[in-house]
Amino acid sequence: MRSDGGRAAVFAPLESGRRADAVVRRLADGIALGLLVPDEQLPSETELADTFGVSPVTVREALTALREQGLVATRRGRGGGSFVRDARAGASALHERLRAVSPSELRDLADHYVAVTGTAALLAADRAGAQDVALLTAGVGELERATDAGGRRRAESRFHVELAAAAQSPRLTRAEIALQTEVGPLLWLPTATPAAQAEQVRQHAAIVEAVAAGDGQRARAHAVAHVYAALARASVLQLGLLGQLDPDED
């Protein structure tokens, strides 16, 4: 099992006093972001217990909850175990989530997102190693190769998680993962034209270039501009869904 980049945050030890719901949240977030991919076999219950610093009973309870949510399937016999199911939210479900959020709440979520992502970019420029930069560069390529809206959303989310991981701060990475599952899919929901996708790729590349150059202020500025540009697109989509956008407006 790989333990580099954002995946490391998924399997990081839990804080003391946390119980099965914390294990559920950690694994569910990893699945939602594509850090744990469909049909991937999870570590054994014993390995997960050791990794998270909880009892096997707690892990068993968490896996039961994940099965009930349709996120994990258990297979018996040789080669059996717990496997990730493909349970990613589609555009229609995300549209409903966007309708349910008020414009002011969406802006507030984006402001929180900017605070975390901007700080991650700033610290990554000072702390990232060669492997971190390589993961970020691979993330740029993943977004460039994305051929559908779901693939683009997952590439966006994973890039930002890897950016936080490059800051070498487990708490910051966990905060980024939580934000990606809460607001990330909404910000990356609007359909991208080829030109828009190319611009998003350019923005990612600019962040990586600044991180690789060790220029924290430039990396932060690019990350902040990238998120607020996404907010502007999501706000237009939201107003359209709420019937508050003049259909003759661009």
CATH of the domain at 42: 1.10.10.10
User: Are residues 226 and 129 part of one domain?
Assistant: yes
Q: What's the burial of 180, exposed, middle or buried (CB within 10 Å: 0-12/13-18/19+)?
A: buried
User: Are residues 46 and 140 part of one domain?
Assistant: no
At which of 84, 115, 145 does a domain end? 84
- Model pTM? 0.76
Question: What is the CA 201 to chain-centroid distance, rounded?
Answer: 17
At which of 69, 84, 99 does a domain end? 84
User: Are residues 75 and 187 part of one domain?
Assistant: no
User: CA-based angle 185:137:30, to the nearest 5?
Assistant: 40
pLDDT computed for residue 236 by the predictor? 92
User: Are residues 110 and 77 part of one domain?
Assistant: no
DSSP codes of every residue in 140-161: HHHHHH--SHHHHHHHHHHHHH
Is 216 inside a domain boundary?
yes
Domain count, the chain: 2
Number of Cβ atoms within 10 Å of the Cβ of 95: 15
- The strand ranges marked E within 67-149 are 72-75, 81-84
CA–CA distance, 154 with 109 (Å, rounded to integer): 19
Of 143, 197, 169, residue with least CA distance to 34: 143
Structural domain span for residue 15: 6-84
Is 120 inside a domain boundary?
yes
User: Are residues 97 and 71 part of one domain?
Assistant: no
At which of 39, 60, 84 does a domain end? 84
pLDDT computed for residue 87 by the predictor? 65
pLDDT along the chain (250 residues), means of 10: 60 70 86 83 92 90 89 85 79 87 93 96 97 96 92 90 94 90 88 88 98 98 96 92 59
User: Are residues 237 and 117 part of one domain?
Assistant: yes
User: Are residues 234 and 111 part of one domain?
Assistant: yes
CA–CA distance, 201 with 195 (Å, rounded to integer): 10
pLDDT computed for residue 89 by the predictor? 61
Q: Provide the β-strand partners of residue 82.
A: 74
